Each structure stands twice: as C-alpha cells, then as structure tokens.
Amino acid sequence: MRVRCRRRDPGRSDAGSAPADFVLVGGFLTVLFLAIVQLTLVLHVRNTLVDAAASGARYGALADRGLPDARGRAAELATAALGPSFASDVTAAHVISEAGTSLLEVRMRAPLPIVGFAGPSGVLEVAGHAPVP
C-alpha cells in the first residue's frame, strides 16, 4: 500500500507563522491589559479624590468647624490613600448653589496618573460639596 502525499506550493507555505502570530497577539493582549490596568488606576485616583473632597466638605460644614478644617481633612484623607503629591492643592470656599442654598465646597487639583502614579500635575480637578447649616 502506497501513501500519497500532496506537495505544497512553495510560494504558499505557512511554516513559521505560529511564532509570528504568537508575538503579534501576545503584544496586543499585553498592551490591552496594561491599558485596562491604567484606566482602573485613573478611576481609582479620581474616586478617592472625590470621596476625600466630599468628606472634607462634610467635616468642615459641622457646627464647630470651618474652612481650614475642611481643607485639612481632605488633604489628610488624600495623603493617606494616595500620597502627598495628590493633596498639595486643596481649596475650600463658601458658595451659593443654583437653588440658593449655602454650600461649603472643597476643590482638589491633583496629577493625572498616566504611567503608574506619575503624570502631569494639576490636571485632575474634583470638588465636594456639603450644605452649611
């Protein structure tokens, strides 16, 4: 019994394409994974700063507290969670809402983490509000 083998066309050979495909797909998946991790980090930093600003505003709006207390509380929370570079620009002020309510507003400007926690400073700005009795 004789086994016949078909000959391949030498111009259409796909020998060696598996390593190339692996490198291309592996590189793409690695970049996609790192982009997702970085997006998650940016959202974590933003949400942490929003929470720190809102907590600082609520703390400063208490009867025996003021604007310096609100700034200090927001900076303390941001420093504890993210580091001192994220709490360097914190401001607090009394504002009037569109409905005419008096609010205490805490604004925080922080670096936008582009590569890890490093990035341009003062780009990410968040605010927290609390009604003043």
In the DSSP assignment, the letter for residue 62 is S
Task: Supply the pTM of this predicted model.
Answer: 0.79
**Local confidence pLDDT in tens for the 133 residues of the chain:** 676 766 665 556 666 678 888 899 999 999 999 999 999 999 999 999 999 999 999 999 998 999 999 999 999 999 999 999 899 899 999 999 888 899 999 999 999 888 777 878 778 999 999 999 8
Three-state SS at 16:
coil
> DSSP states of 66-96 as a string?
-HHHHHHHHHHHHHHHT-GGGGSEEEEEEEE
Three-state SS at 7:
coil
